[in-house]
Structure 1
Amino acid sequence: MTLTVASDYDIRIAPIGASHFSWLEERGYAGWVVLSDEHTRTHCLPLLAPFLTGKKVVYIDVPAGERFKHLDTCRHIWEAMFAGGVGRRWCCLNLGGGVIGDMGGFAAATFKRGIDFVQIPTTLLSQVDASVGGKLGIDFHEVKNSIGLFANPRSVWIDPAFLRTLPERELRSGYAEVIKHALIADGAEWETLRRGTELRSIDWEKVITHSVALKREIVEEDPYERDRRKALNFGHTIGHAVESFFLPRPERLFHGEAVAIGMITESWISRQQGLLGTADLEAIADYCTELYGHQEVPRASFIQLIELMRQDKKNEGDEINFTLLESPGRAVVNQAATPEVILESLRYYNSLAK
């Protein structure tokens, strides 16, 4: 399956093979960079190795994890590119999850004013979310993706086989974005998804294709996030703040786990604002807690969380901005909520603990 995004690049959902690298060779690059972390180097790079033999390749490794998605790691990438003789006519293959895609794309798009790059997402999260839209960036001052830019890859190669390398928790984390896409854009798909919680039995090629198509439609309509694309932020205003708070702590949350908290709390705000019905709120809260469990958000963190939300790049003026739900499948952008309402939504979430 091949999906074209705004005529700029293709997303290929298929086993990665010789045709992918023939396409790359046809572009006449002087060489290729392969960026990986310790996990993808071990589990994913061997799938590409037969097609890299005899090529001019610079291999760069970075440590895995969100806590390394910062300027110091970018500096390491840029220094390795310089040391390897990488020039403007090279292409960077970003082999990894969302961190590698965001940071590797950012490093490539800024190196010598920009070299081409191909995203090869290896996690469900990166396949259904980060693969579409050209948003690149790194974390700064403990605020996620606060330094970055929009730049499209030359192509995106999605191979569902990579999902077999993932632990169950990582797979569930990515699934939160599948849920989000359905909640903001496809109510019928939401009804289908919420009938199942056994992820290993899912037809991933079908689910990924549908979820990517939903995001592609939104991105094509609003590539620079001025209006409808903001719908993709559902669950992320509170979710990003919660994720940032837990990041340096032993009980840190994966991105999808934090977004699940965000979807529950922002659904509660949607109901409080008179948009979402009580039955839909309860269905979303029940499904998310069944899939992701419950991690209490400490009351002592509430003020810090509000301050993190105030740094969110979606805000306008002094208001904290949200995407909310009218109903499953219908999102409403540019909705403000007061700190008091946000804190009440967090208290609601904490009350769900069994």
Structure 2
Amino acid sequence: MNSISTKNAIVYFNSEVYTEINKYIETTKPSKIFILVDTNTHDACLPNFLGQIESGNIEIEVMEMPNGEEHKTIDICTGVWEALSEYNADRKSLLINLGGGVVTDLGGFVASTYMRGISYINVPTSLLAMVDASVGGKTGVDLGALKNQIGVINEGEMVAIDTSFLDTLPSKEMVSGFAEMLKHGLIFDKNYWNTLTHLEALDISDLDQLIYDSVVIKNKVVTSDPTEQGLRKILNFGHTLGHAIESYFLENADKTPLLHGEAIAIGMLLEAYLSTKTCGLSNEELEIITNGILKTFTKVKITENDQKAIINLLKYDKKNSHGVVKFVLLEAIGQPKIDCVVSNELITEAFINYNN
């Protein structure tokens, strides 16, 4: 599987991963290597990873953070910064982020800000991180329950995707990552969408190629618009409402928190409906999208009170401008439209349609 060149880095796959990491270490000779893991990847992924890393005489320190979106916070960043300082990390140190989207987002942010920036490598271990979180240089943490409010765009030295780590992943996490792959089809490639929604015709061995195809799609978008001034916004389809739903379910004790992909699946269903009302998406394609997503994702009950609170959270979305909420919607499958404005009444109508 060929590597993929991004704007400032390279994405390597499987057989190339450890060769390239070891080559990078030998060439750049970092003063020290730090590996950030969470409680899950510490046990499930770290032993295999360390067994294939050739560091020579360079010291390796492992730093562990709690797993879960609720720990993607500045407080955890502070703990990692302090650990780096305590272990005498300098500007020639290397941070390797071995984990899912929380680890790669937070670790990338820590590296980008420690001593005004040290080198980092992302080694994504979840499907979500492989196809989305580790590619494109977005780093950051949540502000309370508000998703990714604090961060910078700064690519690491490389992304190293070893799909064997997926063997350690619970099925629920695999499903969560699949939502981002579906999104890539909806915003960029109808044929890819069709392939993903007919997986019964595929073998599990096809997954590597599908992951590769998703990375190619995301890379094409972010390479043409690295700082999200225009085209890169299309990657937010399903995320305007999806992030608000994820935040609401995360901060309410009487709700069961949703995984990122579960919330984004709901967001895509809602925003597909909005697309039929404002962008000309046909009812036929709405039905195709709805059926395609509900093949994999179970609907979640969202009450009228929930809806009001979720709509209120939209004001914090990062795409907003001058107090106006901006959506990414679809004119057709594979044809997104950015900067769409939608009334709260229409959003409520979308929720009613979803519940029915």
In the superposition, the TM-score normalised over structure 2's length comes to 0.95
Q: Secondary structure of 2:258's partner?
A: coil
Matching of residue 347 in structure 1 with residue 352 in structure 2: yes
- The structure 1 segments of at least 4 consecutive aligned residues displaced by more than 3 Å after TM superposition are 52-55, 197-200
Match of 2:236 in 1: 233
Q: Are the structure 2 counterparts of residues 74 and 197 from structure 1 closer, same or farther at C-alpha, using a change threshold of 3 Å?
A: farther
CA distance in 2, matches of 1:298, 1:200: 39
Match of 1:33 in 2: 34
How far off its partner does 1:20 sit? 2.3
Aligned pairs (5 A) from 1:247-258: 247-248=250-251, 249=253, 250-258=255-263
Q: Are the structure 2 counterparts of residues 24 and 204 from structure 1 closer, same or farther at C-alpha, using a change threshold of 3 Å?
A: farther
Matching of residue 116 in structure 1 with residue 125 in structure 2: no
Conserved 8 A contact 1:13-1:205: no
Alpha-carbon deviations, 1:289-342, whole Å to 9, x = none?
Answer: 220111111221122111211110101122211100111111111111111111
How far off its partner does 1:202 sit? 5.2
How far off its partner does 1:19 sit? 4.1
Aligned residues: 350
Match of 1:131 in 2: 134
CA distance in 2, matches of 1:52, 1:67: 34
Conserved 8 A contact 1:267-1:281: yes
Aligned pairs (5 A) from 1:270-289: 270-289=275-294
Q: Are the structure 2 counterparts of residues 205 and 30 from structure 1 closer, same or farther at C-alpha, using a change threshold of 3 Å?
A: same
CA distance in 1, matches of 2:189, 2:75: 40
Q: Secondary structure of 1:251's partner?
A: coil
Matching of residue 185 in structure 1 with residue 188 in structure 2: yes
Residue identity opposite 2:177 in structure 1: G
How far off its partner does 1:27 sit? 0.9
Residue identity opposite 1:32 in structure 2: I
Q: Secondary structure of 1:132's partner?
A: coil
Alpha-carbon deviations, 1:138-167, whole Å to 9, x = none?
Answer: 000321000111111000000111111111
Aligned pairs (5 A) from 1:141-220: 141-196=144-199, 201=204, 203-220=206-223
Match of 2:325 in 1: 320
CA distance in 1, matches of 2:230, 2:205: 33
Q: Are the structure 2 counterparts of residues 113 and 329 from structure 1 closer, same or farther at C-alpha, using a change threshold of 3 Å?
A: same
Residue identity opposite 2:12 in structure 1: R
Alpha-carbon deviations, 1:66-108, whole Å to 9, x = none?
Answer: 0000111001101110111100000100000000011000011
Q: Percent identity?
A: 36
Conserved 8 A contact 1:9-1:152: yes
Gapped regions of structure 2 (runs ≥ 5): none
Alpha-carbon deviations, 1:232-251, whole Å to 9, x = none?
Answer: 00000000011111114452
Conserved 8 A contact 2:242-2:266: yes
Conserved 8 A contact 2:73-2:144: no
Conserved 8 A contact 1:91-1:115: yes
CA distance in 1, matches of 2:202, 2:175: 8
Between 230-239 and 319-328, report the one with greater CA deviation: 319-328
Q: Secondary structure of 1:12's partner?
A: strand
Q: Are the structure 2 counterparts of residues 58 and 200 from structure 1 closer, same or farther at C-alpha, using a change threshold of 3 Å?
A: farther
How far off its partner does 1:55 sit? 3.4
Residue identity opposite 1:294 in structure 2: K
Match of 1:331 in 2: 336
Alpha-carbon deviations, 1:250-306, whole Å to 9, x = none?
Answer: 521110010000110000000011420001111111121220111111221122111
Q: Secondary structure of 2:22's partner?
A: helix
Q: Are the structure 2 counterparts of residues 202 and 282 from structure 1 closer, same or farther at C-alpha, using a change threshold of 3 Å?
A: farther
Match of 1:4 in 2: 5
Q: Secondary structure of 1:325's partner?
A: strand
Residue identity opposite 1:333 in structure 2: I
Residue identity opposite 1:344 in structure 2: E
CA distance in 2, matches of 1:24, 1:320: 45
Matching of residue 303 in structure 1 with residue 308 in structure 2: yes
